[in-house]
Amino acid sequence: MTREPVRLRSGIAQARRVVVKVGSSSISGPNVGQIEPLVDALVASYGRGTEVVLVSSGAIATGIPYLQLDGRPDDLATQQAAAAVGQNVLIYRYQESLRRYGIVAGQVLLTAGDLENPTHRSNAQRAMERLLGLRILPIVNENDTVATHEIRFGDNDRLAALVSQLIGADVLVLLSDVDALYTRPPHEPGAIKIEHVPFGDDLAGVTFGEAGAAGVGTGGAGTKVSAARLAAASGTGVLVTSTALVAEALSGADIGTWFEPGERPAPPMSGSVSLVR
């Protein structure tokens, strides 16, 4: 039986399955301390019976200091090297924080291509379902060490939307450094907070800025809107807000920008694969 979509923010606290995506700048460098409150919020949701998946960027940003680099490298090989080092450190930081609650993380490295290949997609779906069934917290990141053009893949926003489709998530929460989407970059005069986006709204007249000034991530408001539309088309409600407000977001507070979901499609026939674009 197809579940009804979560239509309102207030339903997030009771959602059966939630995907949370956090960007590089929110959990690396001077903001590495945000990992613990992020984990606290995820565990609180987990404690309410929600199945939680975390999509976390940050491998490259975390690895940069260990390669003694001054900033994000431009060449692919060095980006891959930074990701190889940083992913190890990143998952360790999450597991150390989760250890306070006796929860184990499961690392899942994917690319968008994996989710568009029927065999890879089926394998990923089976593994994720098993992890959730075992009450393991899956932590998903792009497999940057083997990625090519995907290494600049919307700061994992699109990947998070695809993961939401993969596991049939009720809600996708996209976290960044800004509390919501605005009609123009929030530092500009006349910027108005967008509280609700009806399904199918093309947000005409809205101007989105580029990625944050810190330079460690690759996503901006535009990638979040694209990801939100992708997820909403599969019947997943989407909330865009800041990492600092994640606890409120997962408790159903009236914050951020809510993208109303469309109808949830019927489950595919056995053996078939469907990927909404």
Alpha carbon 91 to its chain centroid, in Å, reads: 15
Q: Is 21 annotated as a binding residue?
A: yes
Backbone angles phi, psi at 154, to 5 degrees: 55, 30
Strands annotated E in 47-199: 51-56, 105-110, 137-142, 171-176, 181-182, 193-194, 196-197
Q: Is 156 annotated as a binding residue?
A: yes
- What DSSP state is assigned to residue 156? G
CA distances from 117 to 123, 263, 274 (A): 10, 25, 11
Q: Is 177 annotated as a binding residue?
A: yes
Pairing of strands 257-259, 171-176: unpaired
| First CA to last CA distance, the chain | 23
Provide CB contacts within 8 A for 49, sequence distance 6+: none
SS3 (DSSP) at 206: coil
CB atoms under 10 Å from CB of 202, counted, come to 9
Reference 257, options 241, 236, 242; nearest CA is 241
Reference 23, options 11, 31, 12, 15; nearest CA is 31
Q: Is 144 annotated as a binding residue?
A: yes
The secondary structure element, H or E, covering residue 125 is helix 118-133
- What DSSP state is assigned to residue 32? G
Provide CB contacts within 8 A for 99, sequence distance 6+: none
Annotated binding site: 21, 57, 144, 156, 176-177
Annotated binding site for substrate: 57, 144, 156
Annotated binding site for ATP: 21, 176-177
